Structure 1
Amino acid sequence: MPILRSGPTSRGYRLPTTIAAPLDDADTALRRELYFFTLYRLLEAAMLVLVLFGPVADLIGPPRHDLLARVVAVSYFVFAAALFALGRRGELRTQALAGVAVDLVAGILAIHAIPAAGAGIALMLMFNVGAAALLLPARFGLSVSVAAALALVGEHVWSMVVDDSGRLLAEPIMFAIGFLAIATLTSVLGRQMRSSYELAERRGAETAHLVEVNELIIRRLRTGVLLVDGDNRVRLANEAATLLLGDAGDGHRDLGVAIPELARRLAAWRQDGKADESPLQIAPDQPEVVPRFTRLLAGSEQTLIFLDDTSLVSRRAESMTLATLGRFSASLAHEIRNPLAAINYAVQLLEESDDIPTADRRLLEIVRQQGARMNGIVENVLGLARRETAKPEYVELVALARHFVDDYRAGHPLENDSLRSTASKPQIATLIDPRQLHQILTVLVHNALTYGRLPGEPAQVTLNVHVDEHQQPVIDVIDRGPGIPERVAQQLFRPFFTTSGHGTGLGLYIARELCRANQATLDFIPLPGGGSCFRVRMTATAARPEREDERRPVAARSRR
């Protein structure tokens, strides 16, 4: 059975640590029965010695073979004492077989030497046969009973032939049948005991595993958990609670000393059942927590206190708000799309008219530019809302980067700017959706060409394909611009965050979400010598030969 003990933590509180007491196998578990079996054998030997050497010797009459009886009694007592002393050592099967063999030999010889005590000795041997069948596997137990029955019948025949005994044959036959019956019964019981021990061992191991899993879950909960007894002493605390307690928990097991306000709220809850769930500042350098109370068991004085970090609650609320806002934005963008298309079409028609004065054409150009920007925002929001599930394929990244650079140059005149690709190996394979990777690189390269330039100088953007120290494929989009301040870098991937008056703040957010959908990561890496690096780290995989339909450029397939 698993044993729960307390393990120390860094601040003096103790967490439950599961120590599973190892369950021995079935044979080891039966050693207690073996001990009683050897004790019974010693009692048998002592009674045989008492019958021959004690005051009751005259009650059964003189032995048929006095010397044989005395030698058997003394030898059997010595063997019984030795087996009793060794009962806790050695293999169970060997000890049981050796013991029952000694029992049968000594018992049969004693029956032959002392015919008057034969029935009593045979009756005591019945327990020995049954115990052996209980401790040994079924085939061994039944073999012992058969050997005992044959030995008893053989001794009777021997006595009739050699010593002309007048005993009836029915008596040994009845004892032989009893040996077989008791061995069969105890063998079944032994098999059931072994099955029960094995089942208990499996269940114990499963229970210990479940307890360990439960302990790990509680230990790793992001919600702080305290167990407080009726005297307001903290009995248990998980890691989150220990971190939240901070200096308030150092060296204190009394909740009233460590956190007086929490102890006051606990007392009020115990009195009227109403909990004050307003935020509580445990220490100046710790976040606010919201305490919740519940009894460990009905009628128990022990109380579980859950300390919810308000910052985590706020982040969860922010995530829910963002998800709701995303759905609302997608719906709103869909409604805006149609009138926006009509506006853009009307502007195009006005620009073709000869009746528009030159001064007003500048206004039309502003309307067209802002309409195009608004259309870009709508497309980004819709793309984020209806993003397709990733369909990963085996992709050779070096070739993909080269074709991407060629396609981007063809579709976006760079003028004085430069865009190139480099690689550390001739081929680097990964598993990713090529269309979504193309979209990710488009966002990163567009940002690098737009913002990654020094004033008055052309942009220099490089796609570097290589393998990191963990043998994971990586694509770095590097520019030689002024870099990104740290306070801005911390918010780069937040939706709708932008430092440009013409940006939407969705490009990098969508790129990171696409990376996550492909089990990849997107991170910003500041460069010491100036400039910025956006790193896409993908899953490592072995390259495979391309089929005929895969030999055309990867970039071409990604635009299908």
Structure 2
Amino acid sequence: MVAPKSKVTFAAPARREPPPCRRHILATRTGVGVARLRYQGLDRDAPGDITRRELYFFNLYRCLEAFVYASLVFGPFASEPVRVLRPLLGQSVTVVYLGLALILLLLTERLRRHLAATIGVSLAIDIVAAAAVLLALSGYSLVPMMLLVNIGIAALLMPHRAYLFATGAAIGVATPYLYDRLNDSHEATSGLAVLAMAVAYFVTATLLRNLGGHLREAEDLAEQRGADLLNLEQINDLIIQRMRTGVLLVDRANYILRINESAWHLIGNPPPGERELGVVAPELSRRLYHWRHKGHGEESPVSLATDMPEVIPRFTRLAPNDDSNVLIFLDDTSLLSRRAEELTLSSLGRLSASIAHEIRNPLAAIRYSAQLLAESPDLSGDDTRLVEIINNHCTRANDVVENILQLSRRERSRPETIDLNAWVLSFVEDYRQSNDLGEDQLRAVTSNKRLEAVFDPQHMQQVVWNLVQNALRYGRQPGQPARVAVVARAAVDKGPALLEVIDRGPGIPPKVAAQIFEPFYTTHEYGTGLGLYLAKQMSEASQATLEYVPVAGGGACFRLTLQAAVSIGPGGAVAA
């Protein structure tokens, strides 16, 4: 994550060929996590740039070696103390060796994918060619000394086979010596020199093997550090990508170099190829201009696109006294307002709960006294009416206290799998038995297929009870009884389960509908404004959504979209 007052470095993309929209996004989605990366492609099965260069120079040296052999066999160097005893053998081997060396050099890029086999075969060719050339020449020559370099490079590239390479080279050098000894040739090389070269091969293999091991450890460490850095970069990018705050990186020419999804959404989802800040967000470009020239910017909220929330832009340099690249943060004021509202509600809930507890006791005493007074036979008609008013207002005050206490408790949801059709039928039956509906109608509408959802049964009872009460109270045409339906259905085939409370009343005006779920908002003189707010909070606690949907032809619909029940099928398959 980009920390305050820290230096942040972004790699600017090429301007002339802007990448696709998702490549504009600052971070990269990884789905299930951050993948482990290999630094610069250094892998045992696919050698990287360092191994490619080593193999290239190895093959290049082999070509030089072949040219030296050719100069010894064909050239003016074929004289004392070195004489060609078997010219046909030497010339044939040298020509074939030179051809193979050139082929290996040309095929370096392909052969590096099979590093072990390539080095083994090529070194075997080197040893055979050196042995044949030694057999063709008389006296000791440069051939064993040049083979020393081949052994060193092979041991460096393949440390675990270093001694095998040294053994092969020693056998290759000793073979001509033994051949000459068996044939009693007077041109045989000194046995001491052959032994010295064999020892030199093993010493070189040992030194280069250890050096190669250290180099591989250094490469592995660099590879590990590189992978860690790439993973850290991906994590940082993913964090920035998921930030609710918009982040843009803009250069001196007001060209957008980087942008995360939140910023892209807040400036109105511009086309992927449009990167000029003055075109996609003119007001933001104007504020950036004033900040660059005056040293401070406006702090008033502004909406950068139609139907987008207001934001407060903040500007900062990537480096002190460097205006080439500017980092812009877009703080969504709606998020800030929501957080402030949550803090206010939390504080208000605790305060209201303490007050409500103090009110309940005297309220219960007043209500109990009114009930006793109502039983007196000496009450006149007017006094009876006054006692009824006391009881009604005590009931209303008690409902307010209960809502406030419920707001402060915020009990944890305990979701269970519910058969929605059976639950709706049972709820409607219980409501009819508990309440005198009079001429009002309340009916249940169920689906012809089984519907299962996950919800806290106690919370669902409270939510639907509140919605039905509101529908019976406000969802009626003037002078007509209320007609309310509790509907259980599926959104679409194999879609989520829906529970709807529908009435045939006048509906809710759009301006009012936009605020009905806000706390303490009510249009009724006796309402508390907490019923729908608490219903929405309890729905969200069970991963469900409660929304208002206008009904065509008049009426209102409160729709509860429920979380589907998950079952484990045969073989461990998860089915919804």
TM-score when normalising by structure 2? 0.81
**CA deviation map 1:353-383 (0-9, x unaligned):** 3444331222221121111101101101111
Q: What is the match of residue 23 of structure 1?
A: 41
Give the aligned partner of residue 516 of structure 2: 492
The one-letter code sitting in structure 2 at the alignment partner of 1:43 is: L
C-alpha spacing 1:10/1:60, structure 2 compared with 1 (3 Å): closer
Q: Equivalent residue of 1:504, what SS?
A: coil
Residues matched between the structures, number: 535
The aligned runs of 1:103-502 (5 Å cut-off) are 103-118=126-141, 120-136=142-158, 138-139=160-161, 141-164=162-185, 167-187=189-209, 189-190=211-212, 204=226, 207-215=229-237, 217-218=239-240, 221-227=243-249, 233=254, 236=257, 238=259, 252=278, 259-260=285-286, 262-269=288-295, 275=296, 278-279=299-300, 290-298=312-320, 300-301=322-323, 302-469=325-492, 471-502=495-526
Cα distance, 1:209 vs structure 2: 4.9
- The amino acid of 1:515's aligned partner reads S
Q: Is the 8 A contact 2:451 2:497 kept in 1?
A: yes
Q: 1:426 Cα deviation (Å)?
A: 4.4
1:524 to 545, 548, 560: 548
- The answer (yes or no) to whether the contact 2:254–2:277 under 8 Å persists in 1 is no
- The residue identity in structure 2 corresponding to 1:124 is M
Matched-pair contact (CA < 8 Å) for 2:421–2:447: no
1:60-75 equivalences in 2 (<5 Å): 60-75=81-96
- What is the deviation of 1:161? 0.9
Q: CA RMSD in A?
A: 3.8
Structure 2: where are the runs of 5+ without partners? 1-9, 30-36, 570-576
Q: Secondary structure at the match of 1:28?
A: coil
1:558 is matched with which residue? none
Going from structure 1 to structure 2, the CA distance change for 1:258 and 1:405 (only over 3 Å counts) comes to closer
SS in 1 for 2:528: coil
Counterpart-to-counterpart distance in 2, 1:473 and 1:256:
44
Distance change (3 Å), C-alpha of 1:170 and 1:252: same
Q: Is the 8 A contact 2:518 2:533 kept in 1?
A: yes
Aligned to 1:550: none
Q: Which amino acid aligns with 1:82?
A: I
Q: Counterpart of 1:514?
A: 538
Q: Deviations over 1:481-535 (max 9, x none)?
A: 2222222211121112222223222111111111111111111122213222222
Shift of 1:227: 4.2
Pick closer, same or farther for the CA change 1:168–1:260 going to 2, 3 Å.
same
Gaps of 5+ in 1: 270-274, 546-560
Residues 1:6 and 1:374: Cα distance change in structure 2 (over 3 Å): farther
The normalised TM-score by structure 1 is 0.83
More deviation, 202-211/496-505: 202-211
CA contact (8 A) 1:6 1:17 kept: no
Cα offset for 1:343?
Answer: 2.0
More displaced stretch, 453-462 vs 162-171 = 162-171
Does the CA contact (< 8 Å) of 2:256 and 2:276 recur in 1? no
Equivalent position to 2:561, from 521, 524, 537: 537
Work out the percentage of aligned pairs sharing the same amino acid.
40
**Paired amino acid for 1:333:** A
- Could you tell which deviates more after superposition, 327-336 or 287-296? 287-296
**Secondary structure, counterpart of 2:13 in structure 1:** strand
Q: CA deviation at 1:193?
A: 5.1
- Letter of the aligned partner of 1:214 in structure 2? N
